[in-house]
Amino acid sequence: MTSITDPPQASFRLSMLINDTRYRSLTFQFIALILLILFMGWLANNAAQNLEDLGQDISYEFLGDPAGYDINQKPIPFSSQDTHMRASVVGLMNTLIVAFLGCITATVLGVAAGVLRLSNNWIVAKLMSFYVEIFRNVPVLIWILIIFSIMTFALPQPRAFRGDDAQASMLFDAVAFTNRGVFVPRPIWGDGSMVVVATFILSIAAIFFYRRYAKKLLFETGRLLPMGWPSLAILVLPTLLMFYIMGRPITLEYPELGGFNFTGGIQVRGSLIALWFALALYTGAFIAENVRAGIQAISKGQTEAAASLGLRPGRIMSLVILPQALRVIIPPLISQYLNLTKNSSLAIAVGYMDITGTLGGITLNQTGRAIEAILLLMLFYLLVSLGISAIMNVYNNAVKLKER
């Protein structure tokens, strides 16, 4: 009786790196990697040699020098005597503020427009289609300039609020819309205010846990718990109770007209508002198309099956359609968030001092450190983009369909 054995394995030879298909692709990839490293090394050496010939070198000591310029929108205290590093931090915070506000607003607008575009109401569907087509097909820079022009020329000057014959009035005696921006009350934090803030944050977390529990109970038992008023009660009541227990530690400083401008409160400049709304409206139009595509990717049988169980249209959309559509919506949504964050660099067009306007603008021109400033800008946008991608990918893995 004969036995079958595997043929003897041939010993490894260098010629197998090219002739053997098991190693050929790895060989070419390794060669390409070596060539890329050599090319990047040549570029770095060439840049260093040219800088040496010019009597310069790569140095970031300029970040410790006084900036010598002021910034109009300051989330933290800043003066012209502060360093370029602090100016860059202020610009960085301004960029993150616009990106955060823009992403939140664009998501709300995009989801609403995407759902309403599929409405059975002809007028609503056409209005949403008009919004999507108008904002998608006009450059975002044009929208930034249009909204900024409206805020500059259509809104009244601060002096229009003065006197008994004032031409304009404050909203609720607390908010003033002017051509210099919007003035809103400033919170003043007293002793115990952090307890109230922590209670508010915990209330938001409790809402998520409650809604998650209600959805799990619905899927397991079919029992439908109310969502609206319990969520509102969880958000408001604990915070309000803690606010009075701690003796009202948070008060408001209202803006008041003094001289030629308002004093007190918080001034939200028109450049910030124009950039925020333009980016949100522009990106929201693209998100609306992503949402519409995700909803239409779900079989109509899902809607019919849910309706046969007695679910209302709103419940069908929130509990059946959108959870399944998220696997189609989330990946392109990540790209839209990244585009919005990078498009915020257009802020210089309306004088909003973001990281590009501070580090990549005035600081670069004053110090002449173009290479260092551009490298820092690249690093910042790279880290922000990778952070957004990482967070959204975690969420994408959490909401994707789970197979048994």
Between these two residues, 209 and 171, which has the higher pLDDT value?
Answer: 209
Helix, strand, coil tally for the chain in percent (to 5): 65, 5, 25
Give the pLDDT of residue 111.
92
How much of the chain, in percent, has pLDDT values that exceed 70? 95
pTM, to two decimals: 0.82
Residue 287: band (very low, low, confident or very high) from pLDDT cuts 50, 70, 90: very high
Q: How many CB atoms neighbour CB 83 within 10 A? A: 16
- CA torsion 113-117-118-124 (nearest 10°) is 110
In the chain, count H helices and then E strands: 14, 7
Residue 279 has pLDDT above 80, yes or no: yes
In one letter, which amino acid is 184? Answer: V
Residue 69: band (very low, low, confident or very high) from pLDDT cuts 50, 70, 90: confident
Kindly tell me the sign of the dihedral angle through the C-alpha atoms of 100, 105, 111, 117: negative
Residue 162: band (very low, low, confident or very high) from pLDDT cuts 50, 70, 90: confident
Domain ranges, ordered by start, for the chain: 56-160+174-183+268-404, 186-253
Residue 254 has pLDDT above 60, yes or no: yes
CATH architecture of the domain covering 56-160+174-183+268-404: Orthogonal Bundle (1.10)
Q: How many CB atoms neighbour CB 42 within 10 A? A: 10
Residue 129: band (very low, low, confident or very high) from pLDDT cuts 50, 70, 90: very high
Give the pLDDT of residue 165.
64
Give the pLDDT of residue 10.
61
Q: Residues 6 or more apart from 207 whose CB is under 8 A from it?
A: 231, 234, 235
Give the tens place of pLDDT for each residue, 25-63.
Answer: 788 888 899 999 999 999 888 877 887 777 777 778 888
- What's the chain's length in residues? 404
Residue 2 has pLDDT above 70, yes or no: no
Give the tens place of pLDDT for each residue, 316-370.
Answer: 887 888 888 888 889 899 999 999 999 999 988 888 888 998 988 888 888 888 8
Residue 260 has pLDDT above 80, yes or no: no
User: HSE on the CB side for 370, CA within 13 Å?
Assistant: 3
Do residues 288 and 110 make contact, with C-beta atoms less than 8 angstroms apart? yes
Residue 110: band (very low, low, confident or very high) from pLDDT cuts 50, 70, 90: very high
> What's the CA gap between 89 and 42, in Å, rounded?
33
Residue 403: band (very low, low, confident or very high) from pLDDT cuts 50, 70, 90: low
Between these two residues, 375 and 400, which has the higher pLDDT value?
Answer: 375
User: For residue 376, which of 33, 78, 89 has the smallest C-alpha distance?
Assistant: 89
Residue 202 has pLDDT above 90, yes or no: yes
Residue 22 has pLDDT above 80, yes or no: no
Between these two residues, 257 and 241, which has the higher pLDDT value?
Answer: 241
